[in-house]
Amino acid sequence: MRKIIVKLLTSDWPYWVGGVGIAVINIGLLALTGKPWGITTTVTLWGFKLANIIGVRLENVEAFREYLTRLADFNFWYGGNLLNVGLIFGVLVSAIISREFRFKKITGKRQVYLALLGGLLMGYGARLASGCNVGALVGGISSLSFHGWLFLIFALGGAWVGCQIMYVLLRRVM
């Protein structure tokens, strides 16, 4: 039995298993809390709290006003915190079990600056859009909302167009 469990935990799983798992978790979350899974709102609250701790006051910034009411209930047991911490912990455990976990050497300051800039731009874009694309897709479809299906159609279309453009560009370069 132990051998079967080790094999199950260390072998590759088909993508559909992950998709079904995410769907089941999200439907359960929607049934329990009335809200689909969201990551970026909680990360925004983390940033808001951190900014307050280091002395940066964001209360007067229009984009953050909606978060002031949520910040009052924000603690470790806040639902989004538990999901995000669980996600990070789950990915870490999965990487360790599958022997894929490694520390990567930082090759220079440029890599750090680009990673920080990329993260800030992604976070800013997610806040401008009131959530990330994963939330729009997974949260929208699992809550049976029309916008989730619409997002799926346009995301697939955009990915196809992007692949065609990359294919043409790569053929010209090579």
The predicted model scores a pTM of 0.64
pLDDT in the model for residue 143: 75
Average pLDDT over residues 143-154: 86
46-102 per-position pLDDT tens digit? 888 888 889 887 777 776 777 777 776 777 777 778 888 888 898 898 888 878 888
DSSP string, the chain: -HHHHHHHHHS---HHHHHHHHHHHHHHHHHHHSS---SHHHHHHHHHHHHHHTT---TTSGGGTTHHHHHHT-STTSHHHHHHHHHHHHHHHHHHHTT---PPPP--HHHHHHHHHHHHHHHHHHHHTTS-HHIIIIIHHHTT-HHHHHHHHHHHHHHHHHHHHHHHHHHHH-
Between 164 and 21, where is the model more confident? 164
The DSSP symbol for 77 reads T
What is the distance between the alpha carbons of residues 166 and 174, in angstroms, rounded to a whole number? 12
- What share of the chain has pLDDT > 90, as a percent? 14
User: Encoding tokens for residue 164?
Assistant: 């065609």
